[in-house]
Amino acid sequence: MLNFTEEIKNEIISRGAPTERSGLCILSAFIRTSGSVLVRGGEPGFEIVTENDRTAEFFTDLAENMFGLKLSVPEAGFDLISGRDKLAFECVGERAAELLTELGLIGKNESGDFLRFGIDEGLIRNESDVAAYLKGAFLGGGSCTLPDEGIYSRTGYHFEIIFSNKATASDFCDILAESEVLAKLVARKDSSVVYVKSKEVISDLLNMMECYDCLDKLARIIEHKDIQNNANRITNCSVSNIDKTVTASVKQVRAIEIIAQTVGLKKLDKAVFDVAMCRLADKNASMQELSDRLHITKSCFNHRMRKILELAESLSQY
C-alpha cells in the first residue's frame, strides 16, 4: 500500500509531460534536492538519484524527449535506511553544461563557469514556474505525513522538502512567501529542510502541485479528525462537568450535615430548609436539576445554598 508521499509523487507524474518552461523548473529543483553537479573527465554534467522507478522513468524521458539528453546509469545501489534500490543517473558533456546554465545551476563570468547555490531569478518568472519548481523539489526531496486514524494520534500534519544547501532552501522559502505560503527552514545534518505543519498550508501546496486526488484525501482526513476531536472535546467537557457536580454535591452535603449535628436543620428558614432537604434527597443531581424540582431558578437555588455553606463554615469555627 502506498504511503501519502508516494501518492503525491505518483499524481505529480501522472499529470503528464510538462511544457519546456515547466520542465526546466522541475529538473532544476530535482537536481537541487536529489542530485548534484559534477565533473567527469574534465567535462561538467549532473547526476540525479532516486528510489522510485516511476520517478526515474519520468526524468529520463524528460531529459531525452525535451532536452535531447541521454542519461546513463553508472551504478545501482541499495539504500540501507529505506531498504530499497537506489538508482543513479548522470549526464556529462557540452549539452549537459548548456542545460545546467539554463537550469540556473551554473553561471558564467570572465573567470569561467561557477556554481550557483541559490535559485536563479531568471528561472522563476510566474506562478506556473513556482508550481513547477515545487513539483520538482517534492519529487526529489519531499515527504508528507498525516495523522493516524485513532483519536490519540502520535503523528500530525507535516510537509517537508530537503535541499542540499541552505541558499537554495532560503530562496525557496522566499518564493513560496510571494505565493502567500509561509514555510519554516531548519538545518538537519548537512541538509536544509523547508517544512510546514499547517493542514491549511499543506492543502494549498497540494493544490499548487495539481494533486487534486491527494487534496480530496487530505480533506476527508481533516474532516474525520475534526469530528473525532470535537467528540473528544465534548466527552472531556462532560466528564469535567460531572466532576464539578460531584465536588459541589459533596461540599453541600457536608455543610448540611454540620448544621444538622449542631443547631439542627429546623433552625433554617423554610426556603433554605427546602433546598437542604432537596439536596439530601438526591446527592448526585446537578443544581439545575434540583432547582427545577423546587420550581425556582438556578440562581435562587445557588443563593440559598450559599447561606447553608456560610452557616456551616461559621459553625465549624467553634
Q: Domain coordinates of the chain in residue numbers?
A: 4-210, 243-316
Which positions ≥6 away from 220 have C-beta within 8 Å? none
**What nine digits make up the cell of 46?**
549532473
Helix (H, G, I), strand (E, B) or coil at 75: strand
Q: Taking the complete model, does pTM exceed 0.85, yes or no?
A: no
Count CA atoms closer than 13 A to 183's CA, side-chain side. 28
* Residues linked to residue 145 through DSSP beta bridges, in sequence order: 158
Distance CA 106, CA 103 (A): 8
Instruction: Compute the radius of gyration of the chain from its Cα atoms.
Output: 34
Closest CA to 181 of 212, 207, 204: 204
Please give the chain's pLDDT, 318 residues, in tens.
568 999 999 999 998 778 888 999 999 999 999 988 888 878 888 888 888 888 888 988 888 888 888 887 766 555 544 455 678 888 888 888 888 888 888 887 777 677 888 898 889 999 999 999 999 999 999 999 988 765 455 668 999 999 989 999 999 999 999 989 999 999 998 899 999 999 999 999 999 999 999 999 998 888 877 776 665 665 555 555 555 666 777 788 888 888 888 888 887 888 889 888 888 888 888 888 888 888 888 888 888 888 888 888 888 764
CATH topology of domain 4-210: Endonuclease I-creI (3.10.28)
Count CA atoms closer than 13 A to 40's CA, side-chain side. 15
